[in-house]
Amino acid sequence: MALDPRDGVFSLGPVGLIVFYVADLTRAMTFYGEQLGLRRLLLGEGQALYDCGDVRLSLQETPQSAQLTAASPVCFRVSDIVTARRELEERGVAFTDTIQLVAILPEHDLWMTYFRDPDGHPLALTAEGPKGFPLV
C-alpha cells in the first residue's frame, strides 16, 4: 500500500504472490516444476514457492477440498505461443481449447490458449503478436 506521488492518492502495488491450494503437493510440484518448467525457490512444510518473473506462485497443500475451488485463470506470457504450447503438450500438458485471437488492440493482437493444473486451477498462455499476423 502506498500513496501515488503524483496525486497523493492511495494505490496498490503490482501483484507479487499468487497462492494455489493443492490436494497433493508432490503431484503439483511435478506439474509446475517439470511440466511447466518453473524454477522452485523454496520447499517447506506443505508448500512450495516458484519463480514467475516479478510474481511468485505459492503451492500450499490442504486436505480441505473446499479451498481447491478454481478461480480466474493465471496467464503466462510467452513470446511464441505456438512453440510454447507444442512444448507443453510434449511434456503432457492437456489444453482445453485451440489458440484463439482474443483481442485486436491498437498496437498488436492478443492470442490465448487455456489448460488446467492437476487440481483444476485454470491457466493460460498469452502472447502479443504483430497486428494482422496470423500466429496459427
Averaged pLDDT, 99-122: 91
Rounded distance between C-alpha atoms, residue 26 and residue 31, angstroms: 9
126 neighbors 75 (Cβ within 8 angstroms):
yes
> In this model, does residue 105 exceed pLDDT 90?
no
Cell 482474443 belongs to which residue? 102
Taking the CA of residue 63 as centre, how many other CA atoms within 13 Å lie in the half-sphere pointing to its CB?
0
Rounded distance between C-alpha atoms, residue 122 and residue 128, angstroms: 20
Query: What integer pLDDT is reported at residue 117 of this predicted model?
Result: 94
Give the whole-number percent of the chain exceeding pLDDT 70: 84
38 neighbors 48 (Cβ within 8 angstroms):
no
pTM over 0.85: no
Instruction: Give 44-96 pLDDT, tens digit per residue.
Output: 899 999 999 999 999 999 876 556 666 778 999 998 999 999 999 999 999 99
Cell 483444476 belongs to which residue? 120
Rounded distance between C-alpha atoms, residue 130 and residue 104, angstroms: 10
SS3 85: helix
Query: What integer pLDDT is reported at residue 11 of this predicted model?
Result: 65
Rounded distance between C-alpha atoms, residue 11 and residue 75, angstroms: 23
Query: What integer pLDDT is reported at residue 62 of this predicted model?
Result: 85
Cell 500450499 belongs to which residue? 60
